[in-house]
């Protein structure tokens, strides 16, 4: 992993990244989720530790509650308080980066999720490489979807125009996103891909995005990344082998505890 990170730094020498992890306490299905204990530590601390392990950029947690702020500071990390009423993690991420970096030193924001305690530390580097290689406004990741995932509305599917077979890209395949949906797309014999909700934003693109109203397709599909596509932004995509397990429900939390505590 270390060699890949070093290569990523060399390739992205004109990029100045920061990692932001938005954390929201009022999740409807699992209130107080960032502080849920897993293997003796709050979930948000697990995510922060994985992001720090990536070793490619400063890491900040964007908190909406002082308890989350205190957990990260007690662990030796950086946290910033943000408003409680943001409609999305992207809005919270933008408020956070504007607060911690008003001079605009950071020009790429790696927006992770606070409910991915099993995050692969290679993911931030892959996002940064995708922004750079695809010269995209933002980047995201996908992984092949199983038949069960294709059938589930909760699993977001991505349609990608692949432009790189990965033979010269550390094994990653790169392309551009054409669409995202909760439906089983594309139809026919083409493979389906499970979208992983982490993003690498160019800062000017994130500023433009949060200033836009929700778009018609975004509202219809309940997927904010469609706002970017409808606004003409380019979304670079990299394929990775596995999606990190997210924690959205009590059942997810129990399964994660079993894996990390067993």
Q: How far apart are CA 171 and CA 8, in angstroms?
A: 13
Q: What angle do CA 72, 120, 99 make, to 5 degrees?
A: 40
Contact assessment for residue 196 and residue 244, using Cβ atoms and an 8 Å cutoff: yes
Q: How far apart are CA 30 and CA 188, in angstroms?
A: 36
Q: Assess whether pLDDT exceeds 80 at residue 156.
A: yes
Mean pLDDT of 99-123: 96
Give the helix/strand (H/E) hosting 155: none
SS3 of residue 196 by DSSP: strand
pLDDT digits (tens, 9 = 90+) for 58-83: 999 999 999 999 999 999 999 999 99
pLDDT at 31: 85
pLDDT digits (tens, 9 = 90+) for 179-230: 999 999 999 989 999 999 999 999 999 999 999 999 999 999 999 999 999 9
Mean pLDDT of the chain: 91
pLDDT at 169: 56
pLDDT digits (tens, 9 = 90+) for 16-54: 999 999 999 887 778 899 999 999 999 999 999 999 999
Q: What angle do CA 179, 205, 194 make, to 5 degrees?
A: 30
Mean pLDDT of 115-140: 95
- The pTM of this model reads 0.91
Q: Two tokens at 20?
A: 């932001």
Contact assessment for residue 209 and residue 227, using Cβ atoms and an 8 Å cutoff: yes
| Residue 236 banded pLDDT, cuts 50, 70, 90 | very high
pLDDT at 168: 54
Contact assessment for residue 121 and residue 51, using Cβ atoms and an 8 Å cutoff: yes
**Listed residue (47, 53, 76) closest to 256, CA to CA:** 47
What domain count does the chain have? 1
Contact assessment for residue 181 and residue 155, using Cβ atoms and an 8 Å cutoff: no
Query: Count of CB atoms within 10 A of residue 106's CB?
Result: 20
Burial 195-229 (b: 16+ CB within 10 A, else e): bbbbbbbbbebbeebbeeeebebbeebebbbbbbb
**Listed residue (202, 215, 143) closest to 225, CA to CA:** 215
Point out which residues pair with 157 in neighbouring strands.
181, 194
DSSP single-letter state for residue 237: E
Q: Assess whether pLDDT exceeds 50 at residue 1.
A: no
Q: What angle do CA 198, 203, 204 make, to 5 degrees?
A: 125
Domain containing residue 56: CATH number: 3.90.550.10
Q: The domain containing residue 224 runs over which residues? A: 2-261
| Residue 167 banded pLDDT, cuts 50, 70, 90 | low
Contact assessment for residue 237 and residue 140, using Cβ atoms and an 8 Å cutoff: yes
């Amino acid at each position: 992993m270390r060699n890949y990170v070093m290569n990523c730094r060399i390739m992205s020498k004109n990029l100045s990244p920061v990692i932001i992890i938005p954390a929201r306490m009022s999740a409807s299905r699992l209130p107080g989720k960032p502080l849920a204990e897993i293997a003796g530590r709050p979930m948000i601390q697990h995510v922060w530790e994985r992001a720090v392990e990536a070793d490619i950029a400063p890491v900040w947690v964007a908190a909406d509650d002082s308890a989350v702020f205190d957990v990260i500071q007690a662990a030796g990390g950086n946290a910033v308080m943000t408003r409680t009423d943001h409609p999305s993690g992207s809005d919270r991420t933008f408020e956070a980066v504007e607060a911690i970096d008003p001079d605009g030193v950071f020009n790429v924001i790696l927006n992770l999720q606070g409910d991915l305690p099993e995050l692969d530390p290679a993911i931030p580097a892959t996002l940064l490489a995708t922004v750079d290689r695809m010269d995209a406004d933002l980047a995201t990741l996908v992984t092949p979807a199983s038949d069960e995932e294709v059938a589930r509305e909760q699993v977001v599917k991505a349609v990608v125009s692949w432009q790189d077979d990965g033979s010269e890209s550390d094994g990653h395949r790169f392309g551009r996103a054409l669409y995202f949906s909760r439906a089983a797309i594309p139809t026919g014999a083409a493979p389906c891909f499970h979208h992983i909700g982490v993003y690498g934003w160019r800062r000017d693109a994130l500023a433009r995005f949060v200033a836009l109203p929700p778009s018609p397709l975004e509202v219809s599909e309940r997927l904010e990344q469609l706002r970017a596509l409808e606004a003409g932004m380019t979304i670079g995509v990299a394929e990775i082998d596995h999606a990190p397990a997210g924690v959205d429900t009590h059942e997810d939390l129990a399964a994660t505890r079993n894996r990390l505590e067993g």
